């Protein structure tokens, strides 16, 4: 799990020249749909057999693994407190405290149970 995912381990966001040159000119979906398979493969510098082992290792070394980054799990109390960032929740809590301050009993109970 200590692998880097979509970033280059060297810190360089550019791929090697073969891959940069094939992406330098944008191509539209319409152009792809109206081209032969060989034209599309040559446009992207690809072949029907796919990548060689050497090319795959180079891309892996240059770009890193293709995996979703795992976020650090937050503490349960932090997750709970983050729910109170919503403005509507803050308004309801304020209304509940104000109602309780003025001696009401039922209204703050209802408001806090909603929140």
What digits encode the pLDDT tens for the residues 58-92? 888 988 888 888 888 888 898 888 888 889 889 99
Query: What is the three-state SS of the chain?
Result: CCCCCCCCCCCCCCCCHHHHHHHCCCCCHHHHHCCCHHHHHHHCCCCCCCCCHHHHHHHHHHHCCCCCCCCCCCCHHHHHHHHHHCHHHHHHHHHHHHHHHCCCCHHHHHHHHHC
CA 31 to chain CA centroid, nearest Å: 29
The residue ranges of every structural domain in the chain are 1-70, 76-114
pLDDT in tens, 83-93: 888 898 899 99
Output the pTM of the full model.
Answer: 0.36
State both tokens at 58. Answer: 């180079």
Among candidates 101, 98, 7, which has minimal Cα distance to 61? Answer: 7
What is the C-alpha separation between 22 and 7, in angstroms, rounded? 19
pLDDT digits (tens, 9 = 90+) for 21-55: 444 567 788 888 888 888 888 887 778 888 888 88
């Amino acid at each position: 799990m200590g692998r880097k995912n979509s970033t280059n381990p060297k810190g360089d966001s550019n791929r090697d020249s073969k891959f940069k040159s094939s992406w330098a000119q944008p191509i539209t979906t319409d152009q792809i749909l109206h081209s032969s398979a060989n034209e599309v493969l040559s446009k992207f510098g690809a072949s029907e057999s796919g990548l060689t082992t050497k090319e795959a290792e180079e891309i892996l070394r240059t770009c890193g693994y293709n995996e979703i980054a795992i976020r650090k799990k937050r503490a349960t109390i932090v997750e709970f407190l983050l729910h109170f960032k919503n403005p509507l929740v803050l308004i309801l809590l304020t209304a509940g405290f104000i109602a309780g301050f003025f001696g009401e009993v039922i209204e703050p109970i209802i408001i806090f149970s909603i929140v």
